[in-house]
Amino acid sequence: MIAAYRKLFALLLLVGHAWAIPSPGASSPYADLKVKESLRQAPSGWTLVGEPPADHIISLRIGLPQSNFETLKEHLFQISDPDHERYGQHLSKEEVEEFVKPPSHSLDKVNAWLKAHGFAEVDLERSPAKDWVSIKVPVKLAEEMLGTTYNMWKHDESGDTLVRTTSYSLPSSLHAHIDVIQPTTMFSRFNPLSTTFHWPDAASRSATYKAPTRASDARLAAVDPSCSSTITIKCLQQLYNTGGYVPQVPEKNSVGITGYLEQFANLNDLKLFYQDQVPNAVNSSYEFVSVKGGLNNQTTNSAGAEANLDVQFAFGLTFPTPATFWSTAGRPPFLPDLTTPSNTNEPYGDWVDFVLAQEKVPYVISTSYGEPEQTVPEAYARRVCDSFAQLGARGVSLLFSSGDGGVGDGSSSASHRCKTNDGRNATRFLPTFPAGCPYVTAVGGTTEVPEVSVDFSGGGFSDYFPRPAYQDDSVNAFLKTVPSGLYKDLYNPAGRGFPDVAAQGTSFRIFYRGRSASIGGTSASSPAFAGIVTLLNDARLAQGKSPLGFLNPAIYAKGYAGLNDITGGYSNVGCGTKGFNATAGWDPITGLGTPDFLKLKTILADNLD
Ligand SMILES: *[C@@H]1O[C@H](CO)[C@@H](O)[C@H](O)[C@H]1NC(C)=O
Ligand SMILES: *[C@@H]1O[C@H](CO)[C@@H](O)[C@H](O)[C@H]1NC(C)=O
Ligand SMILES: *[C@@H]1O[C@H](CO)[C@@H](O)[C@H](O)[C@H]1NC(C)=O
Ligand SMILES: *[C@@H]1O[C@H](CO)[C@@H](O)[C@H](O)[C@H]1NC(C)=O
């Protein structure tokens, strides 16, 4: 429903705006500007506060079409399908780049346009496959090139400011040669998903509770009773049945964590955490990598809780596997008086370009950031999602938190809650991006022992990405359980359903600023699941097999039998509704369930070549 509406809407806008905007060089081949992308209005919650300074510099990223993404996708699905003879035969960096490099005539046309505006090759920064080009450009010139006017916008809730526009144009001769240019219409804020956890009061809590239908596993008797109230590394090892597994070939394996928004981890806190929970690891560390000036300030009180959580749990579970932490700059608030910012406010692109340029990329990467899908313009979301497919084809498993707002965005501001920003202000569930990208594994949250679904666990159905074939059966089975007519028009049943899997998401005991602290959110679930996947890769690598790579096809086809199906708990409330329930089989709150390492090892490592 909504997809059709959006397409129609875009078409109307294009027709409405298809006039040529007169430009200084009216005779130039670039004078014929036509609208490329346009929003009906700025997303709710943003207020126009004025013009940016004339000398303000914008870092524009220009996405050129990729010559052969469809073929790359075919390869990706073959090498990720456990029943295909090519399973596990990942592509090299060069092979992937061959598929996504832009057609040469597109490259030539864009180069000529940039040259006409005074840019030389040295001014351009290109992605490895040349499918993205970035330029630093004064706002006045950007406005001329894109036939638009940039403004400063303020986010009412946080006070963050951004320099953005609601519409931009391109010469009509370039429309077929440029997919997307940002930052233009992107108002996303890219939030870390860790939260200090507060249960709602008992009454509203029980109103969202549905008893599990599956008898709990006898194995849980071995789980320490303290795990019901505090999650430690040992709890995760017991709950997820690692059976004392010790990495066999750490030198062949790798794991990584991404940090954004000036988030980096504190090494002293990591040491305290290891003393508390992983004494063998106490002298170990990880490789810190700064992307575009990402910080790593080790003075007390400057590390972030999110980064500490992710690093402590992912690396604590996988010690002594070599670990990498990327700190990527690029965060609102955008300081309006900064004329040469090092950030682009567009961090996924910066990070993914950086990582795609590396010959060797960690086999498992967990990211605990996300935002409502509708705040990321669709064309840009697609390109970012396609970049994740490139990493999958190279054998990398990408895990993302599913979000902490249930079926909504958890916004505390009632007037903005769950409203579409397509001009209708209709109430609608808000799926999370990148969790809704079909080429990543989205991780939802659970709580308690035995595990039940937790009410904040982000889940639902993408409005941008259709349901991939690998989850057809599972998601269809779930949809049959939703009472007919319920939530009609609130979600897109034909969309990519998420999360795919789940892990504990409350009361993780971390160390932060020198002291122990309790933290939760699907931010905790993603690194926990990533830790288990890293151990599975170790088991595969020790047998001379390839790493798992893009996980979903194998998880939906076989791996589900090694997951603990979560069949009840607190529904993922949001948007003034009770949200969805955890059910037998897949559901949009805990996916297919939480890991049972020893079972998964048999299915995905020992019995899968
Ligand atoms: C850590 O290093 C200290 C100092 O070198 C040493 O005494 C200790 O045994 C080491 N601990 C481990 C677990 O390697
Ligand atoms: C980094 O640490 C220094 C002290 O060494 C401090 O002065 C500075 O403000 C810190 N920077 C950030 C961005 O936290
Ligand atoms: C939607 O909300 C915006 C901002 O609150 C308002 O300007 C606009 O008129 C509303 N549109 C409709 C169709 O209600
Ligand atoms: C969730 O479960 C409750 C209690 O069994 C039921 O009333 C409700 O309709 C279910 N909701 C959905 C979306 O299936």
**What is the model's pLDDT at position 226?**
96
**What is the model's pLDDT at position 416?**
53
Question: Does pLDDT of 127 surpass 50?
Answer: yes
HSE (side-chain half, CA atoms, 13 Å) at 401: 36
Gap between the Cα atoms of 449 and 504, Å rounded: 9
**What is the model's pLDDT at position 104?**
97
The stretches of 394-503 forming alpha helices (DSSP H) are: 472-479
Fold type of domain 197-334+344-606: Rossmann fold (3.40.50)
Gap between the Cα atoms of 31 and 165, Å rounded: 20
**What is the model's pLDDT at position 293?**
77
SS (H, E, C) 217-246: CHHHHHCCHHHHCCECHHHHHHHCCCCCCC
Rounded mean pLDDT of 151-178? 90
The ligand minimizing its distance to the Cα of 41 is 3
Assigned token pair, 225: 């009773």
Confidence of residue 193 (pLDDT cuts 50, 70, 90): low
Q: What torsion do the CA atoms of 240, 526, 295, 439 make, to the nearest 10 degrees?
A: 130
Question: Does pLDDT of 473 surpass 90?
Answer: yes
Confidence of residue 46 (pLDDT cuts 50, 70, 90): confident
Assigned token pair, 158: 């946080």
SS (H, E, C) 10-58: HHHHHHHHCCCCCCCCCCCCCCCEEEEEECCCCCCCEEEEECCCCCCEE
Confidence of residue 26 (pLDDT cuts 50, 70, 90): low
Atom of ligand 2 nearest to the CA of 295: 13
Higher pLDDT among residues 186 and 268, named by residue = 268
Confidence of residue 215 (pLDDT cuts 50, 70, 90): confident
Question: Does pLDDT of 207 surpass 60?
Answer: yes
Nearest CA to ligand 4 atom 10: 581
**What is the model's pLDDT at position 162?**
83
Gap between the Cα atoms of 310 and 318, Å rounded: 12
Residues 326, 323, 597: CA angle, nearest 5 degrees: 120
Rounded mean pLDDT of 388-413? 89
**What is the model's pLDDT at position 203?**
67
HSE (side-chain half, CA atoms, 13 Å) at 169: 23
Rounded mean pLDDT of 547-561? 98
Confidence of residue 313 (pLDDT cuts 50, 70, 90): very high
- Going from the Cα of 348 to the center of ligand 3, the distance in angstroms, rounded, reads 30
Average pLDDT, the chain: 88
- Going from the Cα of 166 to the center of ligand 3, the distance in angstroms, rounded, reads 15
Clarify whether 306 is annotated catalytic.
Answer: yes
**What is the model's pLDDT at position 9?**
29
Alpha carbon separation from 167 to 17, 19, 225, 377 (Å, rounded): 10, 14, 56, 11
- Distance, first Cα to last Cα, the chain: 41
**What is the model's pLDDT at position 374?**
86
**What is the model's pLDDT at position 592?**
98
Share of residues in the chain with pLDDT > 70 (%): 89
Assigned token pair, 327: 């700190």
Question: Does pLDDT of 25 surpass 70?
Answer: no
Atom of ligand 4 nearest to the CA of 483: 14
Confidence of residue 283 (pLDDT cuts 50, 70, 90): very high
Clarify whether 123 is annotated catalytic.
Answer: no
Nearest CA to ligand 2 atom 3: 299
Q: What are phi and psi of 64, to 5 degrees?
A: -90, 155
Per domain, the residue ranges of the chain are: 2-66+101-187, 197-334+344-606
- How are strands ordered across the β-sheet holding 132-138? 125-126, 132-138, 57-63, 180-182
Gap between the Cα atoms of 233 and 86, Å rounded: 36
Confidence of residue 240 (pLDDT cuts 50, 70, 90): very high
Per-residue pLDDT tens over the stretch 286-311: 999 988 878 888 876 777 888 899 99
Clarify whether 310 is annotated catalytic.
Answer: yes
Q: Does the CB atom of residue 340 touch ligand 2 within 6 A?
A: no
Burial label for 283, CB within 10 Å (0-12, 13-18, 19+), is exposed
**What is the model's pLDDT at position 199?**
55
Higher pLDDT among residues 215 and 221, named by residue = 221
Assigned token pair, 443: 């991780």
Residue with tokens 């950007």: 142
Question: Does pLDDT of 480 surpass 80?
Answer: yes
Q: What torsion do the CA atoms of 143, 148, 152, 158 make, to the nearest 10 degrees?
A: -120
Q: Global pTM?
A: 0.91
Gap between the Cα atoms of 261 and 392, Å rounded: 25
Q: Is there a contact between 252 and 494 (Cβ–Cβ < 8 Å)?
A: no
**What is the model's pLDDT at position 83?**
97
Question: Does pLDDT of 547 surpass 70?
Answer: yes
Q: Is the peptide bond before 450 cis (omega within 30 degrees of 0)?
A: yes
Instruction: Please enumerate in sequence order all residues whose Cβ is within 8 A of that of 158, keeping only pairs 6 or more positions apart, or say none.
Output: 189, 332, 333
Q: Does the CB atom of residue 295 touch ligand 2 within 6 A?
A: yes
Gap between the Cα atoms of 449 and 358, Å rounded: 41
**What is the model's pLDDT at position 19?**
31
Share of residues in the chain with pLDDT > 90 (%): 69
